[in-house]
Structure 1
Amino acid sequence: MLGLPIDIEALRYPRGSMAVVTGASGALGAEITRQLIARDVFVVATYRTRPPAELPKGSLWERFDTADPATADRLRLVTEDLPHRLQAVFACAGAPSSKKTVADTEPGEFEAVYQANVVSFTAAWRALAARARYDGASVLAVGSDAGRAARAGSGPYSAAKAALECVVTTLAKEEAVHRVRVNLVAPSLIDSPLARTVMAAKGVTDPDAYLAGLPWGRPLALDEVAAACIDLATASQWAYASGQVFPLQAAL
């Protein structure tokens, strides 16, 4: 089966706005999905391995894997068949690196991290482009401050996020003729289970002390990053912005 069975009740949701959230099974994607549903936006959410145990009402979950082109075809067909107006696409799929030095990193890791962070975005866009152009949707990709910080031990991840920035700014220029806005938000460390895993890979033995040493003495919260993403993608005051990289970090 390419995706979960289509919930007929979900399709009876009021014919208002719709958003697509790729990587919705991750912490940030899940929070964006939750906040969108709370705003009465119908969400087509994608996952790669498994969906959440309880599917939120007001959402439709589809498997999407860049290694399986059939899942992209399914995503395209589903979004084109839904009666809602596609307001925004949130690209949240991604993966960290092992935090090894470049000398100690296998070439395959560079490729895998690039696939997860960059190819996942381009593959999703190929599936959604026609519908997004028709509805004049906004696209918001989630990058990272690592795309510019280039910290030691983050070679594959920093390179992938830098490449994602380049793809986003290129896409914004290509899609302007269709009145599609494309932007990227680049947050610093977000408080999430993945962040704890990354800190452990970096050799952090006291996560609480590490987080207390960050600007303002804390990491970013999932809800504040999700709210910023939704605002940048959908609020009228950002309607002129396209091809922009919005950093979410404290300049301290």
Structure 2
Amino acid sequence: MGGGQDLAVVVGGSGAIGRSVVSELRTRGLSVIATHHGQHPGDTGDGTGWVPFDAASGDASGLRAAVDAAPDRLAVVVFTVGVASSKRQVAETPTEEFARLFAVNALGLVTAWQALAARARAGAARIVVVSSDTVRVAGAGNGAYTASKAGLEALALTLAKEEARNGVRVNVVAPSLVASPQAEQILAMKGVTDVDAHYAGLPAGRALTVEEVAGVIAGLGCDPVWDYATGTVVRLIFDSGAR
């Protein structure tokens, strides 16, 4: 990466939404460092720098080193890490699952932020945290995931207040169901055998696409129209207005 470009960091860049966010940000002219968990994505051919990051470990030293070595102003940070629950009711969900999901889905933001805070403050960066509409819905059989995402949103909104004096803006994007391989795995765990029929039965007649969600995330991170916004939760839902 050469100097002169703004830098974006995508924590969780190897997931479906993360990959689309990386593409959106590069289209907008930013250099990108993205994290992966597990197998290295390989050379994606677009100049993205890939760094391993295990949110559950509490260790972001590799991410910190990669960002500190980059010459560009850190302008955008996207946190889109997440693991799903087992879809069991609270009474049947092991407490270890609650702890694991909280460690990854919520505390992962703390681990990443502590590694990136100095550079983000220096660049008056915009932070976009990806949550889920499950926080609003709080459906049965998803307690561990819902609780972890509620914790994530609370942390993000706290950061928005703490970092405002540093010129850092922190906002949350909380989509409803997004069509993706992970969504299909989750639906299978819930006993859904016809994914297309399930999508067609949603209020909008379809699920969100990863490109739609990534477009909103990139807009919050880059577009001047969002310069004023911090501490905002953008929920991507379809509401027909019917009551």
Matched, 1:177 2:165: yes
Hey, what does 2:104 align to over in structure 1? 116
Secondary structure of 1:90's partner?
A: strand
Match of 1:83 among 60, 68, 71: 71
Structure 2: give runs of 5+ residues left out of the alignment. Answer: none
Q: Would the aligned equivalents of 2:56 and 2:108 in 1 still touch at CA under 8 Å?
A: no
Matched, 1:55 2:44: yes
Q: Would the aligned equivalents of 1:181 and 1:243 in 2 still touch at CA under 8 Å?
A: yes
Between the aligned residues of both structures, percent identity stands at: 43
Secondary structure of 2:78's partner?
A: strand
Number of equivalences:
240
Q: Distance in 1 between matches of 2:215 and 2:229?
A: 17
Q: Would the aligned equivalents of 2:56 and 2:104 in 1 still touch at CA under 8 Å?
A: no
Q: Compute the displacement of 1:80 (Å).
A: 1.8
Q: Would the aligned equivalents of 1:64 and 1:72 in 2 still touch at CA under 8 Å?
A: yes
Q: Could you give the per-residue CA deviations for residues 105-130 of structure 1, whole angstroms, max 9, x where no partner exists?
A: 11111111111110111100000000
Q: Distance in 1 between matches of 2:92 and 2:45?
A: 42
TM-score (norm 1): 0.92
Hey, what does 1:107 align to over in structure 2? 95
Match of 1:244 among 232, 235, 239: 232
Give the 5 Å matches for 1:1-252: 11=1, 13=2, 15-68=4-57, 71-252=59-240
Q: Would the aligned equivalents of 1:37 and 1:58 in 2 still touch at CA under 8 Å?
A: no
TM-score (norm 2): 0.95
Q: Would the aligned equivalents of 2:56 and 2:100 in 1 still touch at CA under 8 Å?
A: no
Moved more, 33-42 or 205-214: 33-42
CA RMSD of aligned residues (A): 1.2
